[in-house]
DNA sequence: TAAATAATACCCCGAAAGAGTGATTTTTTT
DNA sequence: AAAAAAATCACTCTTTCGGGGTATTATTTA
């Protein structure tokens, strides 16, 4: 049996990696490409003609909804599953209106996530609003996409404060009396845990989550 | 006549530069050093024994109030003038309590700024709460320290949005269909206008000012 | 019309950031 | 006591940032 050919579309490299890690454990899923915005998604879809596109909604340049609309116009056979951490269900209806077949939340546990995706791929389950609602109901808390929801340690939160103030790694190292290498280590762990790519995204995240000021 | 020997203490390089630019035009002021936090301020005070310290209040590592307290304990003769963009006068009282002789706002025009500083240096004016209030009254709007208050252009605001999302210069250039050099040019102008040092500080600024999300 | 501002672009350069790997020590949990 | 997690540090390598310039072309304002 042929594996399902998957295209991952997400602006966060770590998020893409998280999805890849999970799906690569299963033989019936094959990741054939990654895109980090709507434009790239359209390009790669033309080139690779995937069976399924896992598409993030929030993206720079061209968001997932717009990309979904355009892709479905050109390639109606491609199945598109929106992925998002949002628990705002208005996004869901927008996505379905634009032609997305499915809707998966990043916050559900990875094994269930894959199960749903497979069922969807096999057309066993017409991924409906009802199912999406059910998922929402079962997993109200936000959980990270990967293995488990790894919270930041106190030390990491301490570091985060200084990063968001715009201090350099060297300045942070002096402020906390540790080496610059250690600062870099911590920062790498933080970015990895939160599936972010750089300190600016971390700063935005911190403000949006109310972790600073 | 000997010039007044000045130590500038501010965590923003651009702010320090702004002060330096203004004061260097006058022969009776000599900038003998710059510090970017309270700790450095104490160190440099011990080494250089300035006549006057221009001290920012908000700083990482050790803020201006704490530094003022410690410096006045060790060197009561040093005159300390707090500088701030804050129009919150509670800071003012705190500063005076901690031993600061004066209080200047970054937002007043540079010529008046220098006049006040010189008068203060010559002990002609015992910089009092009343005078500070008067300054506050005359200049209620926030204005930048340098020549004038330069607002961001629409294009610059557009760029700011993408910076705060954590996009790299290259990614921004692709998103806006301009060269990476142009992105860098814009960013340099933005940081210079706002007296900030890097894109993380710009991101924090944007959130605090409600320019994003 | 002349002057100022905005938007575009290029160069050089050193510093900083971030990815990859690996490792040790302390603390906490099981 | 053993295992897991947290905190520390090092070393290399490549890319990105940010400061220093300078310059051209529109557009807007005086």
Nearest nucleotide relative to B168: CA against C1': D16
Q: Give the pLDDT score at A36.
A: 83
Point out the least confidently predicted range of A119-133, B17-31, B156-170, B181-195.
A119-133
* Bases of chain D within 7 A of a CB of the protein: 5-11, 16-23
Per-position DSSP letters for B34-102, written without gaps between them: EESSHHHHHHHHHHH--SEEEEES--SSS-HHHHHHHHHHH-TTSEEEEEES---HHHHHHHHHHT--E
In A 171-210, which Cβ lie closer than 7 Å to strand C? Answer: 184-185, 187-188, 191, 197-200
Query: A88, exposed or middle or buried, with CB in 10 Å at 0-12, 13-18, 19+?
Result: exposed
Q: Give the pLDDT score at A122.
A: 67
Partners of B30 in beta bridges: B5
State the DSSP H helix or E strand holding residue B54, giving kind and residue range, or none if neither.
strand B52-56
Helix and strand totals (H; E) in chain A: 10, 5
Using the Cβ of B199 and the Cβ atoms of chain A, whether some distance falls under 8 Å is answered with yes
User: pLDDT band at A76, cuts 50/70/90?
Assistant: low
Give the count of beta carbons closer than 10 Å to the beta carbon of residue A141: 7
Please name the residues between 172 and 191 in chain B that touch chain A, using a CB distance below 8 Å.
Answer: 174-175
Point out the least confidently predicted range of A24-33, B6-15, B134-143.
B134-143
Cβ B101 vs Cβ B117: under 8 Å: no
State the DSSP H helix or E strand holding residue B44, giving kind and residue range, or none if neither.
helix B38-48
Q: Give the pLDDT score at B213.
A: 75
> What average pLDDT does the segment A10-34 reach?
79
**Quick one: what percent of chain A has pLDDT higher than 70?**
63
Q: How far is the CA of B176 from the C1' of D18 (A)?
A: 21
Partners of A87 in beta bridges: none
Q: How far is the CA of B155 from the C1' of C20 (A)?
A: 37
- Exposed e or buried b for every residue in A15-25, given b needs 16+ CB within 10 A? bbbbbeebbee
A149 touches strand D (CB under 7 A): no
What are the two backbone dihedrals, phi and then psi, of residue B85, each rounded to the nearest 5 degrees? -95, -10
User: pLDDT band at A160, cuts 50/70/90?
Assistant: very high
In B 173-202, which Cβ lie closer than 7 Å to strand C? Answer: 176, 178-182, 184-186
Contact flag A166-B196 (C-beta cutoff 8 Å):
yes
Q: Give the pLDDT score at B100.
A: 55
Q: How far is the CA of B15 from the C1' of C24 (A)?
A: 42
Cβ B66 vs Cβ B100: under 8 Å: no
What are the start-end ranges of the H helices in A49-138? 64-74, 89-98, 110-121, 129-138
Chain B positions in Cβ-Cβ contact with residue A175 (cut-off 8 Å): 60-61
Whole-angstrom Cα Rg for chain B = 19
Q: What is the DSSP letter of A56?
A: E
Cβ B103 vs Cβ B127: under 8 Å: yes
A156 touches strand D (CB under 7 A): yes
> What average pLDDT does the segment A57-70 reach?
71
Using the Cβ of A90 and the Cβ atoms of chain B, whether some distance falls under 8 Å is answered with no
pLDDT tens figures, B42-71:
888 888 888 888 887 766 666 777 788 778
> What average pLDDT does the segment B74-87 reach?
69
Better-predicted residue by pLDDT, B126 or A195: A195
B155 touches strand C (CB under 7 A): yes
Q: Give the pLDDT score at B119.
A: 66
Cβ A125 vs Cβ A104: under 8 Å: no
A165 touches strand C (CB under 7 A): no
User: pLDDT band at B113, cuts 50/70/90?
Assistant: low
**Angle of helix A13-23 relative to helix A110-121, nearest 10 degrees?**
70
Contact flag B162-A60 (C-beta cutoff 8 Å):
yes
Using the Cβ of B198 and the Cβ atoms of chain A, whether some distance falls under 8 Å is answered with yes
Q: Give the pLDDT score at A119.
A: 66
> What average pLDDT does the segment B133-156 reach?
50
Mean pLDDT of chain B, nearest integer: 73
Tell me the C-alpha distance between A10 and A114, whole Å: 17
**Quick one: what percent of chain B has pLDDT higher than 70?**
64
* Chain pair A-B, CB pairs under 8 angstroms: 62
Give the count of beta carbons closer than 10 Å to the beta carbon of residue B41: 30
Q: Give the pLDDT score at B126.
A: 44
pLDDT tens figures, A137-155:
333 333 333 333 457 888 9
State the DSSP H helix or E strand holding residue B29, giving kind and residue range, or none if neither.
strand B29-35
Using the Cβ of A164 and the Cβ atoms of chain B, whether some distance falls under 8 Å is answered with yes
Whether the per-residue pLDDT at B72 is higher than 90: the answer is no
pLDDT tens figures, A110-134:
555 666 667 666 655 444 444 444 4
B110: which 2 tokens?
A: 């540079």
> What average pLDDT does the segment A87-99 reach?
50
Say whether pTM exceeds 0.85: no
Tell me the C-alpha distance between A8 and A161, whole Å: 32
Using the Cβ of B201 and the Cβ atoms of chain A, whether some distance falls under 8 Å is answered with yes
Whether the per-residue pLDDT at A90 is higher than 70: the answer is no
Hey, is A31 helix, strand or coil? Answer: strand
Which of A162, A204, A213 is facing B164, going by the closest CB pair? A204
A74: which 2 tokens?
A: 């050109």
Strand ranges for chain A from DSSP E: 4-9, 29-35, 52-56, 79-84, 102-105
Mean pLDDT of chain A, nearest integer: 73
Contact flag A171-B196 (C-beta cutoff 8 Å):
no
Q: How far is the CA of A185 from the C1' of D7 (A)?
A: 10
Q: Give the pLDDT score at A133.
A: 44
B141: which 2 tokens?
A: 């709007």
Q: How far is the CA of B179 from the C1' of D29 (A)?
A: 28
């Amino acid at each position: 049996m042929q594996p399902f050919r998957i295209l991952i579309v997400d602006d966060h490299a770590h998020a893409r990696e998280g999805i890849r890690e999970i799906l690569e454990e299963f033989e019936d899923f094959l990741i054939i490409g990654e895109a980090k915005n709507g434009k790239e998604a359209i390009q790669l879809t033309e080139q690779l003609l995937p069976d399924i596109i896992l598409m993030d909604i929030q993206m720079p340049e061209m968001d997932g909804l717009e990309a979904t609309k355009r892709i479905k116009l050109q390639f109606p056979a491609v199945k598109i599953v929106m992925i998002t951490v949002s628990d705002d269900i208005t996004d869901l209806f927008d996505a379905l209106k634009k032609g997305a077949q499915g809707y998966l939340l990043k916050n559900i546990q990875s094994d269930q996530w894959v199960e749903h995706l497979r069922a969807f791929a096999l057309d066993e389950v017409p991924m409906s609003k009802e199912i999406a609602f059910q998922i929402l109901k079962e997993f109200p808390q936000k959980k990270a996409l990967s293995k488990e929801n790894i919270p930041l340690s106190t030390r990491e939160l301490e570091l985060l404060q200084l990063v968001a103030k715009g201090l350099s790694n060297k300045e942070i190292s002096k402020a906390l009396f540790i080496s610059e290498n250690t600062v870099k280590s911590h920062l790498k762990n933080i970015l990895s845990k939160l599936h972010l790519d750089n300190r600016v995204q971390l700063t935005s995240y911190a403000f949006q989550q109310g972790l600073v000021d």
